[in-house]
Amino acid sequence: MTEQNKTLLRGARILGGEPQDVLIEGGTVAEIGQGLRAADAEVVETGGAVLLPGLVDLHTHLREPGREDSETVLTGTRAAAKGGYTAVHAMANTFPVADTAGVVEQVWRLGKEYGYCDVRPVGAVTVGLEGKQLAELGAMHDSAAEVRVFSDDGKCVDDAVIMRRALEYVKAFDGVVAQHAQEPRLTAGAQMNEGIVSAELGLQGWPAVAEESIIARDVLLAAHVGSRVHICHLSTAGSVEIVRWAKSKGWNVTAEVTPHHLLLTDELVRSYNPVYKVNPPLRTEADVMALREALADGTIDCVATDHAPHPHEDKDCEWGAAAMGMVGLETALSVVQHTMVDTGLLDWAQVADRMSFRPAAIGRLEGHGRPVSPGEPANLVLLDADYRGQVDPAGFASRSANTPYQGRELPGRVTHTWLRGRPTVVDSKLVGAAGAV
Amino acid sequence: MKRHLISAADLTRDDAVLILDTAEEMARFADRPIKKLPTLRGRTIVNLFFEDSTRTRISFEAAAKRLSADVINFSAKGSSVSKGESLKDTALTLEAMGADGVVIRHGDSGAPHRLATSGWIGGSVINAGDGTHEHPTQALLDAFTMRRRLVGEEGAALDGKRITIVGDILHSRVARSNVHLLSTLGAHVTLVAPPTLLPIGVDSWPCEVSYDLDAVLTKSDAVMMLRVQRERMNAAFFPTEREYARRYGLDGERMARMPEDAIVMHPGPMNRGMEITAEVADSPRCTAVEQVANGVSIRMAVMYLLLGGSEPALSRDDTARTEENN
Amino acid sequence: MDDNSANLHPARPVLEAPDIKRVLTRIAHEIVERAKGADDVVLLGIPTRGVFLARRLAAKLEEITGSAIPVGSLDITMYRDDLRLGPARALAHTEIPADGVDGRLVVLVDDVLYSGRTIRAALDALGDIGRPRAVQLAVLVDRGHRELPIRADYVGKNLPTSQRETVKVQLTEEDGHDGVLLGVRSTESAAHTEGPEDTGDTEDTGDAAPSRHGTAPAG
């Protein structure tokens, strides 16, 4: 494929500001101003579209190796590019588990070869996600994959001693442990949020306290050992309160929220449609409102998709037999626009902060999450924020279609994505990337 | 259009009374030398049982056969289901066989709902118990038994009757269905259980909750004792069987404090010595055996009203809660 | 719209209360005569209005013979041959007198005889209850148009009708007054879904297509 050396964006609204021209050259943002000229540049008439830094996801399940029937590094990074992402953190719960330098390097290399989106693997905290023995965190850190985030996501590091050791150990190389906060005994067999709806539906409840008690313990542990901890997919109002308190103490705690927890509630489970089955479960309206507020005031640092693809047969079944999780990469920005921007809770600069700057900073990811200014890497996404359309999974680049938004009207459409100046998405369509087959 | 019976919560008061009245007519046929009716001749009803429940299956089978339906029993044990065939594939098989009605018992809450709304099959779905969700025909036969014993009048509901349900509410589909149906029929329901066996969120149900059986007994027209599985003790829901029986079991002494005409109900099978003593179980006030007999009449009524015409006789409420939210 | 169609096709009374009284008395006498005393007669009315007619006949018979005549009701809904042509119907009562029907002369009583399908269903239902010595049929009105080889043994009034016409029997017990009305079915009302108010129109009970559903049986 030929690389575009120069691209001129006309009338782009950087972080939602006044329309300006942006010249991309040689992988970086070369110039920003009014009436820029570049005779040899490809011109993109943006029509006042919003220009944001390329999005960074701290929480993506690419499924490769092991579950290539649901997603691969190729399909997952294509989905990421379509969603406006230029970097994703690939979770460790693959088969085999990403608990050695070998596995994380394989995933990293695949991402690099395909070239749609940078893939930064997340390393497992414990061997085989078993929660018993620390994985070789240092080796993963030192590998070519440059692992900085460690997580047993899908499972909670529930043993307090193991969690303490992990938090302490990663201090040596400024790593961060991303905790999937789920007290296992309180959630054995749990199917949905415990509350009014679970009582009626007869589905085993997943109490908020199972999440909150782990978060409370872990922020205390992180403070005690002087390390930093990141909380995955915060889902309850109580979790927000604990994180807010921990931050008020000056402790090094960060947190993410998924798009679906900003929008959907457990009332949807009344349909028994497994597309709404997810971990952590959909909570109540009050939780959703608390999460939005916390994302707005910065208590929650960032939005992470928890993109969790599953093959059709794992969702086309009864609730109890269904897998947990939703795809999210290709709808995340739309859901955030719908829940946070259109409601006035965030402006586009803050969206850039919550979906690019902060996740890159938490993951210590260089070259991403940078301001849109001359000299910076041209990792960019152009968003037609005025677009309104129904979600149709048939158009997904992801191999899986388990979206809870099918048929729902959502605002915003990613029209272009650039990875270091090279377009991965043009006019909302993927373009061949370097190394792509 | 309500083609299915998934939840007692979907029944309007008129629906419920119509089913009870229809069951009374069905009960009359049961006394005749020829119990069979030609009504569902040519219809095929499949009993799809993913959980063992010989009692319930036999009751549905007897009901279907008395209405002359062809009955196919499909038990998950020893079938392709135990070899990993999905509910969907099983459903598609039944559809290919031309099932007009599917009676489903499943260990997962919501499986009948899924079967009815997924588009896998075209026939009517009757929930014969799903996980810890609902068991609507059990609630209907309980209401039928109560109406006969406490009201004795057809066309009537259960207005003002005080019904107490005691035991493992948390895991009980019978309790969930009964709370919905009995409150629809105008009864005042009180649930009695140790707090560990009540679901979080129970305060939103249309009933009262008490932890004290003795306080409620004297104000009860019917006391329904739920089976308490001994395994629950190991999961720390209560300390010992003895303590459970002492605090929440029904013995002769407690029964004596109930109002004179009050009845004792049990959906069976009973754990004698646990939630109910032999003395109570065998007393004329205990309706357990009657409930079984009434079960056939109720299931005949439900099958007739769902399958006896070109469309069901139950109310056409398109906003039923079984519909998807989006 | 409904009012207009009603005005366009006013129902015409063909039997008034005194007429009904008179024909029931005559039928009662005929039964006694044919049964040679009515000792073993059992009257079974077909719900809804057949049951009231059966009770009236039983009272007459008692007047005539001086002894009580067993009377009951026989719901034929579950035996209908057109169940699948309409929504599932609410059942009416079946109440067989205590001594049963075995070896008895059963007189089935209905308000209108039309296609004969109701009576076919009633004979099937009766066969599941016992084995009468003989079965006879008494109707208030025979309007013709039989679709099965069935005839009435006792007829209050033969009423030649066209299929476009409707015969409406009204009885005090159900409708507040006695009378039989002959009207014309408007195309609109034929398409109406019947509600509880329509119980006045009984000519179709069991015998013709228009459906009734969702209505709990009276009594």
**Residue C195: other Cβ atoms inside 10 A:** 11
Task: Measure the CA–CA gap between C88 and B1, rounded to whole angstroms.
Answer: 13
Amino acid at B98: G
Catalytic positions of A are 306
Higher pLDDT, B63 or A437: B63
Fold topology of C17-160 = Rossmann fold (3.40.50)
- When CB atoms are compared, the residue of A194, A196, A317 closest to B86 is A317
pLDDT at residue B114, rounded to an integer: 93
pLDDT per residue over A328-344, tens digit each? 999 999 999 999 999 99
Contact assignment for B173 to A202 by CB distance below 8 Å: yes
Question: Mean pLDDT over residues A122-126, rounded?
Answer: 98
Measured between CA atoms, the residue of chain A closest to residue B202 is: A199
pLDDT per residue over B9-38, tens digit each? 999 999 999 999 999 999 998 888 888 999
B 103-142 residues with CB below 8 A of A? 106-111, 113-114, 117-118, 130-134
pLDDT at residue C8, rounded to an integer: 52
Contact assignment for C129 to B32 by CB distance below 8 Å: yes
Contact assignment for B21 to C85 by CB distance below 8 Å: no
3-class secondary structure per residue, A394-420: HHCCCCCCCCCCECCEEEEEEEEEEEC
pLDDT per residue over A48-104, tens digit each? 999 999 999 999 999 999 999 999 999 999 999 999 999 999 999 999 999 999 999
Instruction: Give A109's pLDDT tier (boundaries 50, 70, 90).
Output: very high
pLDDT at residue C2, rounded to an integer: 41
Question: Mean pLDDT over residues B52-68, rounded?
Answer: 94
pLDDT per residue over B152-165, tens digit each? 999 999 999 999 99
Q: In what order do the strands lie in the sheet with A302-303?
A: A149-150, A176-179, A229-231, A253-257, A302-303
Please answer whether residues A423 and A417 qualify as being in contact, where contact means their C-beta atoms are separated by less than 8 angstroms.
yes
The reply to whether B324 touches chain A by the CB within 8 Å rule is yes
Measured between CA atoms, the residue of chain B closest to residue C125 is: B37
Binding site of A for substrate, by residue number, is 61-63, 93, 279, 310
Name every chain B residue with its beta carbon within 8 A of the beta carbon of C86: 309-310
Q: By percentage, how much of chain C surpasses pLDDT 70?
A: 80
Contact assignment for C90 to B313 by CB distance below 8 Å: yes
Name every chain C residue with its beta carbon within 8 A of the beta carbon of B311: 87-88
Measured between CA atoms, the residue of chain C closest to residue B313 is: C88
Amino acid at A352: A
pLDDT at residue B323, rounded to an integer: 34
pLDDT at residue B82, rounded to an integer: 54
Contact assignment for B309 to C89 by CB distance below 8 Å: yes
Contact assignment for A202 to B176 by CB distance below 8 Å: yes
Contact assignment for A201 to B87 by CB distance below 8 Å: no
Coarse DSSP helix, strand, coil percentages of chain A, rounded to the nearest 5 percent: 35, 25, 45
pLDDT at C60 over 80: yes
Taking chain C, what is the end-to-end CA distance rounded to the nearest angstrom? 33
The reply to whether B299 touches chain A by the CB within 8 Å rule is no
Name every chain A residue with its beta carbon within 8 A of the beta carbon of B321: 270
Q: Angle at Cα B114 formed by Cα B111 and Cα B118, nearest 5°?
A: 155
Match domain B8-135+292-307 to its CATH number in 2.40.50.100, 3.40.50.1370, 3.40.50.720, 3.40.1370.10: 3.40.50.1370
- When CB atoms are compared, the residue of B106, B109, B202 closest to A203 is B109
Helix (H, G, I), strand (E, B) or coil at B191: strand
pLDDT at B75 over 90: no
Contacts A–B by Cβ distance under 8 A? 91
pLDDT at residue C215, rounded to an integer: 33
Instruction: Give A38's pLDDT tier (boundaries 50, 70, 90).
Output: confident
Instruction: Give B310's pLDDT tier (boundaries 50, 70, 90).
Output: confident
Question: Mean pLDDT over residues C181-196, rounded?
Answer: 58
Tokens 């073993």 found at? C40
Closest-CA distance of chain C to residue B317, Å: 13
pTM for the structure as a whole: 0.89
Interface of B with C (CB under 8 A): 14, 17-18, 21-22, 25, 28-29, 32-34, 36-39, 67, 155, 304-313, 315
Instruction: Give A403's pLDDT tier (boundaries 50, 70, 90).
Output: very high
pLDDT at residue B30, rounded to an integer: 86
Contacts B–C by Cβ distance under 8 A? 70
H/E element holding B62? Answer: helix B54-66
Whether B138-290 and B8-135+292-307 are alike in CATH topology: the answer is: yes
pLDDT at residue C14, rounded to an integer: 93
Q: In what order do the strands lie in the sheet with C41-45?
A: C71-73, C41-45, C105-113, C134-142, C154-158
Name every chain B residue with its beta carbon within 8 A of the beta carbon of A201: 109-110, 133
Instruction: Give A200's pLDDT tier (boundaries 50, 70, 90).
Output: very high
Question: Mean pLDDT over residues A365-370, rounded?
Answer: 96
Amino acid at A169: Y
CA A58 to chain centre: 5
pLDDT at A4 over 60: no
Task: State the number of CA atoms in the 13 A half-sphere of C173 facing the CB.
Answer: 12
The reply to whether A12 touches chain B by the CB within 8 Å rule is no
Question: What are chain C's partners, defined as 3 or more CB pairs within 8 angstroms?
Answer: B
Contact assignment for C214 to B313 by CB distance below 8 Å: yes
pLDDT per residue over A143-175, tens digit each? 999 999 999 999 999 999 999 999 999 999 999
Sign of the dihedral through C-alpha A318, A257, A327, A364:
negative
Task: Measure the CA–CA gap between A393 and C102, rounded to whole angstroms.
Answer: 69
Strand extents, DSSP E, B87-221:
101-106, 124-130, 162-166, 188-192, 208-210
8-state DSSP, B161: -
Task: Measure the CA–CA gap between A33 and C154, rounded to whole angstroms.
Answer: 105
pLDDT per residue over C5-50, tens digit each? 444 567 889 999 999 999 999 999 999 999 888 889 999 999 999 9
**Residue A401: other Cβ atoms inside 10 A:** 18
pLDDT at residue C209, rounded to an integer: 36
pLDDT at C197 over 50: no
Task: State the number of CA atoms in the 13 A half-sphere of C70 facing the CB.
Answer: 17
Instruction: Give A309's pLDDT tier (boundaries 50, 70, 90).
Output: very high
CA A51 to chain centre: 19
The reply to whether C88 touches chain B by the CB within 8 Å rule is yes
In chain B, count H helices and then E strands.
12, 9
Domains of chain A and any CATH numbers: 6-51+375-430 (2.30.40.10), 54-362 (3.20.20.140)
pLDDT at C183 over 80: yes
Binding site of A, by residue number, is 59, 61-63, 93, 153, 180, 233, 279, 306, 310
Task: Measure the CA–CA gap between A222 and B123, rounded to whole angstroms.
Answer: 57
Q: B–A contact (≥3 CB pairs within 8 Å)?
A: yes
pLDDT at residue B77, rounded to an integer: 65
Average pLDDT, chain A: 96
Closest-CA distance of chain B to residue C22, Å: 34
pLDDT at C103 over 70: yes
Question: Mean pLDDT over residues C63-85, rounded?
Answer: 94
What the block records as the tokens of B191 is 């649930």
- When CB atoms are compared, the residue of C75, C87, C94 closest to B311 is C87
Q: By percentage, how much of chain A surpasses pLDDT 90?
A: 96
Question: Mean pLDDT over residues B46-53, rounded?
Answer: 91
pLDDT at residue C146, rounded to an integer: 95
The reply to whether C79 touches chain B by the CB within 8 Å rule is yes
Binding site of B, by residue number, is 55-56, 83, 105, 135, 138, 173, 227, 268-269
Q: What are the boundaries of each domain within chain B?
A: 8-135+292-307, 138-290
- When CB atoms are compared, the residue of A316, A319, A408 closest to B110 is A319
Name every chain C residue with its beta carbon within 8 A of the beta carbon of B67: 78
Question: How distant, in Å, are the alpha carbons of A178, A266, A291, B272 from that of A287?
Answer: 21, 10, 6, 45
pLDDT at residue B264, rounded to an integer: 98
Please answer whether residues C81 and C116 qualify as being in contact, where contact means their C-beta atoms are separated by less than 8 angstroms.
no
Contact assignment for B25 to C93 by CB distance below 8 Å: yes
Task: Measure the CA–CA gap between C185 and C189, rounded to whole angstroms.
Answer: 7
CB neighbour list of residue B68: distance below 8 Å, 6 or more residues apart? B36, B37, B38, B39, B40, B41
pLDDT at residue B309, rounded to an integer: 87
Question: How distant, in Å, are the alpha carbons of A23, A32, A49, A420, B279 from that of A375?
Answer: 11, 10, 22, 12, 89
Helix (H, G, I), strand (E, B) or coil at A56: strand
The reply to whether B234 touches chain A by the CB within 8 Å rule is no
pLDDT per residue over C110-126, tens digit each? 999 999 999 999 999 99
In chain C, count H helices and then E strands.
6, 8
Closest-CA distance of chain B to residue A394, Å: 18
Task: Measure the CA–CA gap between A195 and A281, rounded to whole angstroms.
Answer: 12
Question: What are chain B's partners, defined as 3 or more CB pairs within 8 angstroms?
Answer: A, C
Name every chain B residue with its beta carbon within 8 A of the beta carbon of C128: 32, 34, 36-37
Instruction: Give A256's pLDDT tier (boundaries 50, 70, 90).
Output: very high
Task: Measure the CA–CA gap between A364 and A344, rounded to whole angstroms.
Answer: 30
The reply to whether C209 touches chain B by the CB within 8 Å rule is no
Per CATH, domain B138-290 is 2.160.10.10: no
pLDDT at residue A19, rounded to an integer: 96
Task: Measure the CA–CA gap between A301 and A287, rounded to whole angstroms.
Answer: 17
**Cis before B312? omega within 30:** no
